[in-house]
Amino acid sequence: MKKKVMFWKDFKNPAIDENTGRVIDWDDPNAPIFPNYCDIVIIGGGAMGSSIAYWAKQLALKSLNVVVIEKDPTYKQCSTVLSVGGLRQQFSLEENIEMSLFGAEFLRNINDYLGVEGEPPIDVQFQPYGYLSLASTPESAEVLMKNSELQNEIGAKNTILTAGQLSSKFPWLNVKDIEMGCLGLEKEGWFDPWTLLNAFKRKAVSLGVDYVKGEAVGFNFKKDPGVMVSGVAPGEFESLNYLVVRTDDGKLRPIQFSRCIIAAGAGSGDIAKMAKIGLGNDMLSVPLPVEPRKRFVYCFHAPEGPGLNTPMVIDPSGTYFRREGLANTYICGRSPDACDEPSCDNLDVDPAYFEEKIWPTLAHRVKGFENLKVKSSWAGFYEYNKFDENGIIGFHPYHDNIIFATGFSGHGIQKAPAVGRAISELIQYDSYTTINLNRLGFDRFITNEKMKENNVW
């Protein structure tokens, strides 16, 4: 173990004892059990990371040693469990439509995928009421129609409704300033994210995946003179050797890996910096453009609100609402404008944001919401891709043992089944064999080719 190493931050490796040159706690008989080597290490144990862990073991069976690093197994601040659990195919990019279509098929047959012998069946409480996206101008209506045509060609089931048809089907909806709407008829709705996460994790553990409570704090680098990379001087290429993890007892421990999957949600950008991504030269000068963005969700009661046949309504303003259970209870939210982005220092909810930005739209769109009363609220973090607000999937062009699965900007929970399968294909075959997701790779940040959704919330 006596070898010269370089650490990502200040060239001092916190997992190496300076006096002995040995890895701290590697040979300590009193240290907790820790996997010092694995084939696949996944940073992040939410729905995305747990889906990847499940699919990796499912595809390769017992041939892969898979470890998931999760700093908070309670998932108290995990984006997965704080999301509203929506599923839709109303996108303009084929990749997103196809991933969400697979998500619908996966949820429909979830016990075939994630059922564990001897355990009770899984019920994600799927509510098949669909999405209703509204357009208020002729231009946005035309985009809505084009998107719907593409979605149905690929396999989605939705329909375009005029203002008159909307009024007839949903008499509680004010459509005086609406040109058109797109209503999901099948394979759309919402579900319980907590149940899905636990189902993924339970199945992964049953297949032999090892979950470690700890925090990724850095990578160890080693010079690899045999590798030639464009823009890197001969002999200067540095590969990632192992991950440094701070375990629950405060100790720093190394875990060597063949592939590292960054699926750390809103924290993925910071993990990438540990690998010098965005801090180096040439290819390493391009950062992973993922950062946390705080979003509020409000739960309210409206005695005169619409009944059971209430879809997830997406107002042209970006405000959304849907039914939550029975007894005229609903949840709602809205992404803030760029100038109104709240601080991510905490998960406090701003009550004034509802009063000023959301309630006026709700009261305008549904008369029954004029007398609503907010009952509760919460906040969660989006893993926001500030480049084009779309997922980042695939290998890094410099570190060929790093794979990304992050940056879905609020759409990750519904794409977790498809992304997990896609990452397992990269691990096994070095290419996609089901849905081609090459356009969502890291390379687009280097070539400055945005994968932007067209008029899609």
117 occurs within a structural domain: no
pLDDT of residue 31: 54
Task: Please tell me whether residues 285 and 422 are part of one structural domain.
Answer: yes
Task: Please tell me whether residues 143 and 261 are part of one structural domain.
Answer: no
Q: What's the CATH number where 307 sits?
A: 3.30.9.10
CB 174 within 8 A of CB 366: yes
**Read out DSSP for 331-366?**
EEE-PPPGGGPPPSSS----HHHIIIIIHHHHHHHB
452 occurs within a structural domain: no
pLDDT of residue 279: 92
pLDDT of residue 3: 38
Number of domains comprising the chain: 2
Task: Please tell me whether residues 169 and 136 are part of one structural domain.
Answer: yes
Alpha-carbon 287 to chain mean position: 18
Task: Please tell me whether residues 257 and 393 are part of one structural domain.
Answer: yes
Task: Please tell me whether residues 260 and 299 are part of one structural domain.
Answer: no
148 occurs within a structural domain: yes
pLDDT of residue 61: 66
Burial class (CB in 10 A: 0-12, 13-18, 19+), 284: buried
* 189-190 and 210-223 beta bridge pairing: unpaired
Task: Please tell me whether residues 403 and 416 are part of one structural domain.
Answer: yes
Domain end residue (candidates: 335, 363, 383): 383
SS3 (DSSP) at 221: strand
Using left for φ > 0, alpha for ψ between -120 and 50, and beta otherwise, residue 61 falls in: left
Residues 279, 207: Cα–Cα separation, whole Å: 37
Task: Please tell me whether residues 210 and 245 are part of one structural domain.
Answer: yes
pLDDT of residue 278: 95
Task: Please tell me whether residues 346 and 205 are part of one structural domain.
Answer: no
Residues of the chain with pLDDT under 50: 1-13, 20-23, 25-26
Task: Please tell me whether residues 283 and 319 are part of one structural domain.
Answer: no
434 occurs within a structural domain: yes
28 occurs within a structural domain: no
Task: Please tell me whether residues 131 and 172 are part of one structural domain.
Answer: yes
Task: Please tell me whether residues 216 and 262 are part of one structural domain.
Answer: yes
pLDDT of residue 28: 55
pLDDT of residue 9: 38
Q: Which domain holds residue 142?
A: 127-186+293-383
393 occurs within a structural domain: yes
One-letter amino acid at 334 equals R
Residues 405, 47: Cα–Cα separation, whole Å: 11
pLDDT of residue 219: 95
107 occurs within a structural domain: no
pLDDT of residue 303: 96
pTM for the complete prediction?
Answer: 0.91
Residues 45, 53: Cα–Cα separation, whole Å: 9
Task: Please tell me whether residues 322 and 362 are part of one structural domain.
Answer: yes
